[in-house]
Amino acid sequence: MEFNYAYKNSTAVSDRGSSTQMSFSPDTKRPPTYFIGELGKNVAFREAISALHDVVFSDLRFKPKDRTEYKQWRANQDQQDWQLIAAQRQDIANKIKPLQAELTQLNQNRYQRLSTFYKARQQYYNYLYQKDRDAWFVLDPVITVHPDEVFFECFSQDESSYGRLGASYEVFKTINEFACGTTNIDYSAALYNEFQKIRSYKTTQFEIDPSGFEVKTT
């Protein structure tokens, strides 16, 4: 299955001493959708959007261990075992034994040389998962401006879970103009930490327009 998105900008986060602005970039392949409003229930929205974030990053697929080294060792060990079975005479076995010891030492030296590579590769995979999870996303979240509410929808990374967060217009203190529609948004892992900065004593404004979906906290 192929997914085509076109974002004018990447999701950007700007944090200042008195304000925080989070800009979600919408999919330009969809009809323009916009909404301007000020949140009234800041803390409740913060906790709800944080829960939706957990769905976006959820991945319950089985992650097998890297067994490359073991498989190489097992193949070499099997070869040695077959050699012992084939050696029916003691004099042949006596000749094979020192050769096996030498081969074992060579394999150990090889594993030691490659261990740094295997370790570095695993560290790189761990780094990608921890620091650049955006590269793991398949489906970007969707935001919809409906006549009765604004709601977010998303699938988990393994596509086994679906999440929907609806914010009725009662959640907003003030609402300016809006146009109904649905659009994908470019979602970033760093946004979770920025959402945690929403406070009840701060004014938080949401803006959705063709150039992006913005969250401003002052």
User: Is 6 inside any structural domain?
Assistant: no
For residues 37 and 145, membership in a common domain is answered with: yes
Query: Which of residues 217 and 41 earns the better pLDDT score?
Result: 41
- Looking at the structure, tell me whether residues 17 and 76 fall in a common domain: no
Contacts of 218 (CB under 8 A, 6+ apart): 18, 19, 202, 203, 205
Show which of 84, 107, 133 is a domain's final residue.
133
Domain holding 151, by residue range, is 12-42+137-217
Q: What is the side-by-side strand order in the sheet with 212-217?
A: 12-15, 20-24, 212-217, 204-209, 34-39, 172-179
- Chain segment 60-105, per-residue pLDDT in tens: 777 777 777 778 888 888 877 777 776 666 667 677 778 888 888 8
Chain Cα centroid distance, residue 27: 19
pLDDT at position 5, please? Answer: 54
Number of structural domains found in the chain: 2
Q: The CATH number of the domain where 200 resides is what?
A: 3.10.150
- Assess if residue 194 is contained within a domain: yes
Q: Decide if 172 is inside a domain.
A: yes
Q: Give yes or no: residues 162 and 197 share one domain.
A: yes
Last residue of a domain, one of 133, 153, 183: 133
Please list, in sequence order, all residues whose beta carbon lies within 8 angstroms of the beta carbon of residue 71, skipping any fewer than 6 positions away: none
The verdict on residue 77 lying in a domain is: yes
Q: Which residue has the tokens 């609806």?
A: 166
For the whole model, what pTM was predicted? 0.57
For residue 108, the surrounding DSSP H or E stretch is helix 90-131
Q: Given 3-state DSSP classes, what are the helix, strand and coil percentages for the chain, each rounded to the nearest 5? A: 40, 30, 30
Residue holding tokens 């073991």? 70
Same domain, 142 and 109: no
> Which pLDDT score is estimated for 215?
53
Q: Does 195 lie in the same domain as 160? A: yes
Q: What is the pLDDT of residues 158-215, one digit of tens each?
A: 778 888 999 999 988 888 888 888 887 767 666 777 788 888 888 887 777 656 544 5
Could you tell me if residue 48 is inside a domain?
no
